[in-house]
Amino acid sequence: MIAIALKDLKIILGDRKALLLSFLLPIFLVGLFAFVYGSMGGPREEHPVKLLITDQDQTDLSAGIVARLDSLKSIRLTSMTLEEARQKVTRGDYPAVLVLHKGLADSISANRPGVLEMQYDPARELEMGLLQQAILLPLFELIGRPALQEMIFEEVQGDYPRLDPGLMKQIKNNIEKNFRSGKVSQVLENRNPIIMTPLIPVERASWALIQAVAGTAVMMLLFSVAGLGAGLLAERETGTLKRLLITPLHPMHILYGKLLSTLVVSVLQLVVVFIFAWLVFGLDLSLNPPALLLVAFTTAFACASFGIFLAAVSTSRKQVEMLSTLIILIMSAIGGSMIPLPIMPAIMQKLAAVSVNYWSIQGFFDIFWRELPLWEILPRIAILFGIGVLLITLARVFFKRNLASLV
């Protein structure tokens, strides 16, 4: 038993790269998730939430609202026309647009509820909650507490016209007391001055379903292709690769053949996942078939190239296992497969652009949630294809240097 254990330890310690990766993996993951989850709770640097605003009223009051919101550290305000803002929200660039309609001052003077309108993307629920918390109190102060106090009192008086005048006076005093004591949030909960209007119909597929299907499919596909790519190293260890290299076959044909087989399996895996989502959860695959096929194919191509790249840069299957686990988990974490992007810190949302997961998930959201036409999804498709080309190009270089020279 001791002899076997010593033999295994000698083999493990002999592969220094794999050993190093085995220690780096938990360190990287602990640091990554501690950073992400640590930023979601407890004291932290405040990251502003993006918000569009359209001032159609063009009065001193509306200008004051824009200036007040722009002064908030928790909001990064951008002004633009309503049509442009709606396009930005439906494309997923911003969570919402706050619309100050014409006649805003008259609506406030008349104590009409819903004097402002927030047109939003229902898929950005968390950001909407943060936005409402950030803007309700400033808006409440600008609209005027006395006016809202009087509005609430008039509603009570209208609902109960026969109450004793003394009791009505006591009710009015209690309303004023609640406002003075800071119970503003309770009032706003029942009398929100903002009309909430979803720009994307809630009848569409659940954004959570799209997130679950797309995020999981891409992450598991990366793990699958890493295993398939490692088959290249298995062929080297068994001598198959050596026999192939002494044939007239060009070495790059071996690499491309492995890429092709991995690509076929990747496409089939995505097809199975989305057919399952259609049969079990009712995900509508007929919304934009050309875009769906292109996003799925370029996702499979990028992932397959990633698997071949890992095999090309590694010298043992153990290295592939550790390196793939490290890279895939990090890419999945920052790319939106594990954690939805809106709840991540701003720096993590920027880093997401380096992962295959991000571009693929956003492409599927463009199809199933935003229902964008093909030409608007083409940039994401092009980036996925470019990632695949870059990875397979790098794989060529390392394949010549590491694998071909070792057989």
Which domains does the chain show, CATH number per domain?
Answer: 14-37+204-403 (no CATH), 49-198 (3.40.1710)
Average pLDDT over residues 319-338: 83
Q: How is residue 15 written in tokens?
A: 């592969």
> Does pLDDT of 146 surpass 60?
no
Average pLDDT over residues 59-82: 87
> Does pLDDT of 190 surpass 50?
no
pLDDT of residue 96: 92
**Segment 239-287, tens digit of pLDDT:** 666 676 666 767 677 778 888 888 998 999 999 999 999 999 889 999 8
**Segment 112-126, tens digit of pLDDT:** 655 688 899 888 877
The CA-based angle 33-34-39, given to 5 degrees, is 100
pLDDT of residue 189: 46
Pairwise pLDDT comparison (18 vs 355), residue with the higher score: 355
Pairwise pLDDT comparison (277 vs 177), residue with the higher score: 277
Considering 23-27, 59-63, 236-240, the range whose residues carry the highest mean pLDDT is 59-63
pLDDT > 70: percent of the chain? 67
**Segment 345-395, tens digit of pLDDT:** 777 778 888 899 999 999 999 999 888 999 999 999 999 999 999 999 998
Q: Could you tell me the pLDDT band of residue 43, with boundaries at 50, 70 and 90?
A: very low
List, edge to edge, every strand of the sheet that includes 116-120.
75-79, 49-55, 96-100, 116-120, 194-198
**Which conformational region is residue 182 in: left (phi greater than 0), alpha (psi within -120 to 50 degrees), or beta?**
left
Residue 315 CA to residue 170 CA, distance in Å, equals 82
Q: Could you tell me the pLDDT band of residue 399, with boundaries at 50, 70 and 90?
A: confident
pLDDT of residue 27: 67
Integer CA distances (angstroms), 323 to 197, 227, 394, in order: 46, 11, 16
**Segment 283-306, tens digit of pLDDT:** 999 989 999 999 999 999 999 999
pLDDT of residue 188: 47
Residue type, 72: L
Residue 76: what are its φ and ψ, rounded to 5°?
-110, 100
Residue type, 258: K
> In terms of DSSP H, where are the helices of 247-405?
251-281, 289-313, 317-335, 346-351, 356-368, 374-398
CB 369 within 8 A of CB 123: yes
Q: Could you tell me the pLDDT band of residue 16, with boundaries at 50, 70 and 90?
A: low
CB 69 within 8 A of CB 141: no
Residue 230 CA to residue 381 CA, distance in Å, equals 27
Pairwise pLDDT comparison (104 vs 362), residue with the higher score: 362
> Does pLDDT of 183 surpass 60?
no
3-state SS class at 369: coil
Residue 349 CA to residue 334 CA, distance in Å, equals 7
Residue 114 CA to residue 139 CA, distance in Å, equals 12
Residue 231 CA to residue 9 CA, distance in Å, equals 24
Comparing C-alpha atoms, which of 9, 16, 6 is closest to residue 316? 16
pLDDT of residue 381: 96
Residue 352 CA to residue 363 CA, distance in Å, equals 14
Q: How is residue 294 written in tokens?
A: 């292109």
pLDDT of residue 162: 65
Residue type, 286: S
pLDDT of residue 272: 93
CB 357 within 8 A of CB 210: no
> First CA to last CA across the chain, in angstroms?
34
Compute the half-sphere exposure of residue 308: CA atoms within 13 Å on the CB side of its CA.
32
Integer CA distances (angstroms), 367 to 247, 254, 323, 335, 358, in order: 46, 35, 32, 18, 14
Helix (H) or strand (E) holding 130: helix 125-143
Residue 230 CA to residue 253 CA, distance in Å, equals 17
